[in-house]
A and B are shown apart, each in its own frame.
Chain A
Amino acid sequence: MGYFSDSLAAAFQLIISFDKDIYQIAITSVSISFFAALIAASLAIPAGIYMALNQFSGKQIIQHLLNTLMAMPTVVIGLLLYGLFSRLGPLGHLDLLYTPTAIIIAEAILIFPIMMNLAIVAVTSADQRLVPTLISLGAKPIALSIQVAKHSRFAILAAIITGFGRAIGEVGAAMMLGGNIEGFTRTMTTAIALQTSKGEFETGLALGLLLLVIAFIVNFMLSWLQRPHS
């Protein structure tokens, strides 16, 4: 018990003293997840809205594929991208392996199906009269998508935040593609794994607490967005 409480006290000390290394890792982690969420959202949200508003052949297959990808283990994504980005791989010449960009790509791929699925749900769960009303008022396809997105903005924002939350907690792909390089690709999750294996439990705990705070903020924002809106 003494070991745990001493470590917890040391972890709090690291946080309140604004330990440079701890906050450097947190900033790296947040910025990587932010850009991953931004890239994924810019593709997944329009794709989700398009899929929800249109009927086309193969729609069912795409839906099944999205559901499957949502459950895909992160290490599998890490493994596939490692094969692509490694020096002998087809994209090896881009020198992306062990860079934040590689982690951003992996996390964006990881959260894309989550965001797209949630965007589909956001549109399909909107009032059934919304789309026919907009069509009858003269909305062309792009204007229709914009108006539907505007109407479902809280649910769509919730989709983006959920994706961000999933990205920041990811460890497998970040470890494989980032290499856990201090001050460069070291994220909170990879640092926790490393520090714990090195026996520096208090550093791991301090990062874990920070991760919890971020998770709490993300969930608070989600709850706020999902409250009933008039």
Chain B
Amino acid sequence: MSSSYQLKNIKVHHGQQCVLDIPELSLPEEKCIALLGDNGAGKSTLLDLLAFTSRPDQGEITLKRQAALYPLHPKQRQMIGYVPQHPFLLAGSVADNIQLALRLQGIERKQHQNQIKQALELVNLDHLAQQAAHTLSGGELKRAAIARAVAYQPDILLLDEPFSHLDQIHSQQFEDIIQHLASQSGKTVIFSTHDRLQGLALADSTINLVAGKTTKSPLLNLFHGTMHDQVFDTGHLQIHTISQLATARHIAIDPSEIIISTQELQSSMQNHYMGRLILIAEEIGTIRLTIDCGERFHAIISPKSLSDLNLTIGDTVWLNFKSTAVSIF
């Protein structure tokens, strides 16, 4: 599969602190990709690099199999649309802002009106085309920024925390917009979110960031703590691992690797915890259980398993997983 971006030996420092350290990363083309991670995990820093609005202290980024130099070549720049977490609209109307983007991208003047109209229709903002940018609400401003970023029809759209500070209706609208953009032929959408479930639901693939480093784990059961003799201590639980890495500070357990039982299991699995079922949620054909065992765990089971186990909220359940199911980083 061809890649939209390839990153090699990327390092970004803020002062003495290394905030992003990616030895190698390939982002597939024509996919919807979610960057998942907590606040401060390095999502915005990575998106800034992908948008070429900042440069790494070390390393190389290849954009669509071509080396990217700073400043970016206009043709490469035209491939990327970027909407930061707090977008900035310049003085003037919404249409003025979009027109400026078209002008800066060197799009022919006669195409401007048509492309402005198309972009605004895409985000349902055509009725606000002539409204002054500084009078827009938070949700309208984000939609206007998306319209501005897609107006020149980039192949890659980067969205930093598009759902932050949005109510449920606007969040749903944004999900629809992202799905629509990602469904278009030849388009790659990369968005960051700290809501892992939303990211997993929307994206074709995910990239998980913890403390500036990528990890393969989906980060649904992410815990921080210290490691002693292959046992990871979260402060509330001791979790058996197979790692010898004494410097490990984070672990994650794939929710589909967790086995739920109503009684303690006699098995080769080393991790067994009794807890209380506090949430049952249906998610795209699966059931997500949230269990409080001192730490909160998420487990994914099938609707049939839910029915067989006859679980209800408040039940005491056992949570079991192998030490090999624990990712350490």
Chain A residues within CB distance 8 Å of chain B:
127, 129-130, 132-141, 143, 147, 151, 230
Contact = CB atoms under 8 A, between A and B. Distances in A.
A151 B82 CA distance: 21
24 contacts: A127-B88, A129-B86, A132-B48, A132-B51, A132-B54, A132-B84, A133-B88, A135-B71, A136-B52, A137-B100, A137-B104, A137-B105, A137-B148, A138-B74, A138-B77, A138-B101, A139-B104, A140-B71, A140-B74, A140-B104, A141-B71, A143-B104, A147-B90, A230-B134
Contacts of B148: 137
Interface string B151-171: 010000000000000000000
Given A133-B87, A137-B100, A140-B71, 13 more contacts: A129-B88, A130-B88, A132-B48, A132-B51, A132-B53, A132-B84, A136-B52, A136-B53, A136-B82, A136-B149, A137-B101, A143-B104, A151-B90
B235 to A, nearest CB: 37
B106 interface: yes
A55 to B, nearest CB: 11
Contacts of B80: 136
B50 to A, nearest CB: 11
B192 interface: no
B84 A129 contact: yes
B interface bracket (residues with beta carbon within 8 Å of A): 20 to 34
Given A132-B48, A133-B87, A138 B105 contact: yes
Contact of A136 (B51, B86, B91, B100): B51
Nearest to A132: B53
B42 to A, nearest CB: 17
Most B CB contacts (10 A, CB to CB) among A132, A134, A138, A140 go to: A138
Contacts of A136: 51-53, 80, 82, 84, 149
B45 interface: no
Given A132-B48, A132-B53, A132-B54, A138 B87 contact: no
B320 interface: no
Contact of A138 (B54, B84, B104): B104
A151 B91 contact: yes
Given A141-B71, A143-B104, A230-B134, A135 B53 contact: yes
B26 to A, nearest CB: 22
Contacts of A147: 90, 100
B154 to A, nearest CB: 10
Interface string B71-84: 10010011010101
Interface string B85-110: 01110110000000011001110000
Contact of B78 (A133, A138, A140, A230): A138
Contacts of A132: 48, 51, 53-54, 84
A165 to B, nearest CB: 27
A116 B38 CA distance: 42
Nearest to B107: A138
Contacts of B149: 136
A138 B71 contact: no
Contacts of A230: 134
Contacts of B105: 137-138
B104 A134 contact: yes
Contacts of B90: 130, 133, 147, 151
A136 B101 CA distance: 9
Contacts of B101: 137-138
Nearest to B98: A137
Nearest to A129: B88
Nearest to A144: B104
Contacts of B152: 138
Nearest to A127: B88
Interface string B46-59: 00100111100000
